[in-house]
Homo-oligomer: A and B are copies of this chain.
C-alpha cells in the first residue's frame, strides 16, 4: 500500500529546498487538512545520502535546534551528496513539546515499520520506512532524555550485522559525544527507527544529548559538532561547526536488567548519583519520599552493579515501575 504522505518538495534534484511533508488528516475542525511536517533537502554532486532527523520525540530539543541551523546555514555548494533533514518528525508531538503525539497518543519510536492507513504517527513511520529510508546511506536520529530523563551527553548504536556495526562505530567516533554506548538488538522495546534501519542494513546512530525537556547551549553544541563530524566522516560536507577537530568519546555498553534501577514503590524521587558519575554495586542510588505521610521512612534503592551513570530520572513525582537510572560499562571491560 502506498504511503498517504505527499512531499511538497523534490528530493531528487540538486539544490536546497524546504517545505512540508503533507500528512492528510480529516478532522471535525478541518475535513481536508494536512499535518505539515517540515522537511528540507540540500543536494549537490555525487555522494551519499544522509537522513538527519529530530523531533521523533517532541520534547527533545537539541536536534530540532541543530537541524534548524543546518537548514538555514548550509548551502548546496558545501555538499557532496545529499542531506535530507526532518527536524520535527512526529510533528504534532513536536508542536506540543510532548514525547508522544497528542493526536493519537502515538510514540513514533515504537511505531516502526508503521501502517500505511493507520494513525498519523503510524503513517509517519510508514512513510519514513517505505519512502525515505530507501533513499539513505546513513541515518542520524537525534534524541535527548525528554521530559522524564536526564542523560550525560551521549551517542549510541546497536549491535547487529558486523559490517554495518563497523560503520556505525566509525560514525560514533566521528560524532564525538562525551560518552558513546552500544545497545543489544531486541530487548523489550521494538518498533524504533533504529530497528527499521537495521532491517534495511543502513548504518544508524542515535543520540541522548541531555534532557528534562530543556536544552542548553552545551548540549546543542554536542549535537552541532557531532553532525559536523559525521558529515565530514562520510564525505558529505566539511562544516567548521566543530573547529574541524574530532572530540574523543568514551565507549560503553549497556547490558541486562542489572544495569537498570526501577522504582519499587511510588514516591518523590531524590537521586543520589548524577549522570556521568562512576558508581559501585550496592551504593545508594536514591530515595523515594512518602510525602503524603511524611513521617514514614523513605524507600531506599541501590545500584545492582558497578558502572557509569548514563541517565537519571528527572521528575520528582515517581510511580512504581519508573526507571530511575541506567548504567553503562566500558566496552570490552
Contact = CB atoms under 8 A, between A and B. Distances in A.
Given A4-B188, A88-B291, A292-B38, A316 B22 contact: no
Contacts of A32: 149, 260, 322-323, 326
Interface of A: 4, 6, 18, 20, 22, 24, 26-36, 38, 40, 55, 59, 61, 64-65, 67-68, 71-72, 87-88, 91, 94-100, 104-105, 107, 110, 117, 145-150, 188-191, 212-217, 220, 257, 260, 262, 268-272, 274, 289-295, 297-298, 313-317, 319-323, 326
Given A4-B188, A22-B321, A212-B314, A31 B149 contact: yes
A257 B36 CA distance: 15
B315 A213 contact: yes
Nearest to A286: B217
Contact of A67 (B293, B294, B297): B294
Nearest to A32: B323
12 contacts: A28-B148, A30-B148, A36-B321, A61-B291, A61-B316, A68-B298, A71-B294, A87-B291, A88-B294, A97-B315, A212-B214, A213-B316
A28 B217 contact: no
Contacts of A34: 262, 321
A53 B294 CA distance: 13
B262 A31 contact: no
Nearest to A58: B317
A96 B4 CA distance: 29
Nearest to A214: B314
Contacts of A24: 188-189
A37 to B, nearest CB: 10
A213 B29 CA distance: 11
Interface centre among A28, A145, A147, A150, by most B CB within 10 Å?
A: A28
Given A28-B147, A28-B148, 19 more contacts: A6-B188, A18-B294, A26-B189, A27-B99, A27-B148, A28-B99, A28-B100, A29-B148, A30-B313, A30-B319, A33-B321, A61-B268, A61-B289, A65-B268, A88-B291, A94-B292, A104-B105, A110-B117, A213-B314
B65 A270 contact: yes
A217 B271 contact: yes
A293 B67 CA distance: 11
Contacts of A272: 217
Given A28-B98, A99-B27, A294 B217 contact: no
A147 B29 contact: yes
A43 to B, nearest CB: 16
Contacts of A18: 294-295
A71 B289 CA distance: 13
Contacts of A110: 26, 117
A149 to B, nearest CB: 5
